[in-house]
Amino acid sequence: MLLSGGIDSATALYLTRKERPVRALTFAYHGIAGQELESAKAIAAEAKVTEHRLVRLPDLKEAGDIAGARFGGLPPTYVPLRNSIFYSFAASYAEESGASLIVGGHNRDDERIFDDVSSGFFASLERAFLAASPILRRNRVRISRPLGSRSKPEVIRLASSLRVPLELTWSCHREGINHCWECDGCLMRAKSFASAGVTDPLAPKRRGKIT
């Protein structure tokens, strides 16, 4: 399965490992926060995955880091054709390891922003992989998105019930030891936990009222 350091993929991992052994694949592309990679490693170790493979893609950059490129309407964190590339690596890994399921932790909200998280995209990709490989056909490989019908707050509630180590996850887009609580990733995290009614183990402690 594809594992970042985020809440969604950690939750998909804990959901999947209830039913089968899991191998995890993490992509170190240009600009990814170093702490997110550390989070992915920590989550994979905590979940006791069969293998955690790190794929280094230093030439793959976020839109915000590509000088002169135009990606109208897409956020600066968009990585051009990210999922076409990531899932191709995952299919190659599935072919090598004999896996029959490729799991991604995309939630319902992701599909509203990115075309490469849509059901149509994944159905096409699945057909392309099956056309490309007799091994994948024999193993009846499928792409599964177990969180695809859930909003982010719903994913957080599910994570809480599955005892996902949320303290190991990473949502910040900036470099640092701790979350900055100012970037889009941090603001979305705080909003989603509040909406879910779940306490974020990483949230900064509020100061008591001064009397």
Q: How many residues bind Zn ion (CB under 5 A)?
A: 5
Single out the segment in contact with Zn ion by CB under 5 A; choices: 8-16, 51-59, 133-141, 167-175.
167-175
Which C-beta is closer to Zn ion: that of 2 or that of 172? 172
Which C-beta is closer to Zn ion: that of 47 or that of 186? 186
Structural contact between residues 186 and 143, judged by C-beta atoms closer than 8 angstroms: no
Query: Using alpha carbons only, how large is the chain's radius of gyration in Å?
Result: 17
Give dist(CA 116, CA 83) in Å, integer: 6
172 binds Zn ion (CB under 5 A): yes
CA 130 to centroid of chain Cα atoms:
24
Structural contact between residues 31 and 65, judged by C-beta atoms closer than 8 angstroms: yes
Structural contact between residues 52 and 10, judged by C-beta atoms closer than 8 angstroms: no
Which C-beta is closer to Zn ion: that of 76 or that of 98? 76
Which C-beta is closer to Zn ion: that of 127 or that of 174? 174
Residue with tokens 């969604």: 8
Specify the amino acid at residue 159. A
188 binds Zn ion (CB under 5 A): no
183 binds Zn ion (CB under 5 A): yes
180 binds Zn ion (CB under 5 A): yes
Which C-beta is closer to Zn ion: that of 137 or that of 174? 174
Give the shortest CB-55-to-Zn ion separation in angstroms: 24
Give dist(CA 90, CA 94) in Å, integer: 6
186 binds Zn ion (CB under 5 A): yes
- Residues near Zn ion, by CB under 5 A: 172, 174, 180, 183, 186
